[in-house]
């Protein structure tokens, strides 16, 4: 079917259920798009075309026999290359593991396959999911970064190569690429999607999430993996109670983001939302430094093998970070965790009486050049606080690239975050 690769996951799933589209047709359309575009975008680390088509044909045979595995039946997905797959190499974005073939799929890949997903391939990750840039380019403008570390997944979804993809976040590795590439990025409540079989960096922070073309697509993927009922987006609940929160890092926002974000509250209120400004205690500012300590301390230990045995094969970016991270003592790490606990209580207090917070999803549009993956501003605090956040594109920057907002809810209020994010996106993009 022509242009089937451009269908979102919800639409494609409905068409397959009705018999108007087959998984094989959808996978072939995605592979054709990859063949046409990936030499420029460079979103994929590994592809096995024969294997993907064989999986798709098996899903079609199962459907014909009345055996539908679950919500993802026949839908192709991309898997970030720090997530283990037994059927494809997993190299973690580093030559240290070139050709590495895990013995088993990661738990989240098993869950997706149980629900009927077809693994299309492995998407490019930055080096060990850290900040050294990878080869992927922003599909909206190849001269700009797609962000990182989930660069390949975000670029592949944005460019119509695959409707859904896995991402992970330790600092801003999911939300920032979503913001830069203009896709829906959903970081669930911490530990909602099992992380077994993923190359860990900072276990107190690492969160598995997903990308989709829009919020309903991301919600479908997440519902299949997490097990909550698929949210309804046809009949949304009443307009949400929104708190606008500029965060302690507001000064890092670019003028274009500041201007667009400052205009958003009036538009949301005009559409029926109850909108207020949130000011948390000054002590909340400490969350940024505390999360840096936790990230450095835990990453140095998680990547001990690479640091001790292969430091010369790491980039100066990551190698230098691991060496410098040795300055943090156990006492400083424990103190940082105490600060985080205090900040979680402050956030819980701040969320009373509102449904969600709205904050920028990045400092602005994707920077020009591929030398860096962008700032961690506006992301890392939500990762450290373990709350769900949903990034949605709603603005356009001065270079014509996407910019967006991030919708944050209390821990465990994931469905509320998703529904509010969809409502907010419809209002601000309309």
Q: Which residues are catalytic?
A: 80, 149, 173
Cβ 399 vs Cβ 144: under 8 Å: yes
DSSP 230: P
- Packing angle of the helix pair 151-158, 23-41 (nearest 10 deg): 120
Strand positions, DSSP E, 300-416: 356-360, 389-396, 402-408
Q: To 5 degrees, how large is the angle CA 90–CA 94–CA 98?
A: 55
Report the residue count for the chain.
430
Burial class (CB in 10 A: 0-12, 13-18, 19+), 20: exposed
Cβ 281 vs Cβ 275: under 8 Å: no
Using CA atoms, how far apart are residues 75 and 30, in angstroms rounded to an integer?
11
Helix (H) or strand (E) holding 185: strand 184-187
Give whole-number Cα distances, 247 to 27, 244, 287, 381, in Å: 41, 9, 10, 9
């Amino acid at each position: 079917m022509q242009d089937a690769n451009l269908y979102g996951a919800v639409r494609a799933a409905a068409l397959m259920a009705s018999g108007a589209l087959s998984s094989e047709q959808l996978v072939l359309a995605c592979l054709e798009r990859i063949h046409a575009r990936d030499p420029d975008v460079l979103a994929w680390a590994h592809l096995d075309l024969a294997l993907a088509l064989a999986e798709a044909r098996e899903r079609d045979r199962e459907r014909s026999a009345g055996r539908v595995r679950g919500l993802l039946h026949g839908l192709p997905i991309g898997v970030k290359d720090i997530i283990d797959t037994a059927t494809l190499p997993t190299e973690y974005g580093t030559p240290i593991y070139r050709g590495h073939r895990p013995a088993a799929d990661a738990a989240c890949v098993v869950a997706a396959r149980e629900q009927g997903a077809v693994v299309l391939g492995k998407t490019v990750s930055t080096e060990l999911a850290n900040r050294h840039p990878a080869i992927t380019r922003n599909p909206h403008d190849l001269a700009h970064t797609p962000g990182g570390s989930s660069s390949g997944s975000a670029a592949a979804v944005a460019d119509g190569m695959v409707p859904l993809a896995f991402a992970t976040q330790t600092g801003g590795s999911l939300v920032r690429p979503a913001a830069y590439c203009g896709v829906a990025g959903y970081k669930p409540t911490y530990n909602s999607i099992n992380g077994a079989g993923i190359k860990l960096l900072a276990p107190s922070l690492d969160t598995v999430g997903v990308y989709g073309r829009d919020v309903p697509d991301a919600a479908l993927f997440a519902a299949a993996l997490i097990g909550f009922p698929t949210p309804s987006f046809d009949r949304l609940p009443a307009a949400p109670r929104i708190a606008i929160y500029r965060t302690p890092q507001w000064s890092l926002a670019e003028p274009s983001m500041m201007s667009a974000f400052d205009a958003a509250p009036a538009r949301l209120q005009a559409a029926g939302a109850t909108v207020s400004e949130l000011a948390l205690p000054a002590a909340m500012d400490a969350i940024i430094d505390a999360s840096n300590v936790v990230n450095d301390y835990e990453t140095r230990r998680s990547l001990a093998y690479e640091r001790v045995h292969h430091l010369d094969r790491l980039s100066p970016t990551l190698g230098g970070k691991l060496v410098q991270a040795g300055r943090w003592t156990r006492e400083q790490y424990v103190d940082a965790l105490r600060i985080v606990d205090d900040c979680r209580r402050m956030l819980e207090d701040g969320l009373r009486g509102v449904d969600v917070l709205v904050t920028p999803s990045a400092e602005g549009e994707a920077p020009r050049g591929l030398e860096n993956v962008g700032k961690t501003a506006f992301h890392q605090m939500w990762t450290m606080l373990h709350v769900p956040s949903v990034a949605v594109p709603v603005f356009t920057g001065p270079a014509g690239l996407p910019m967006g907002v991030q919708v944050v809810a209390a821990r465990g209020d994931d469905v509320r975050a998703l529904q509010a994010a969809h409502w907010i996106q419809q209002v601000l993009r309309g």
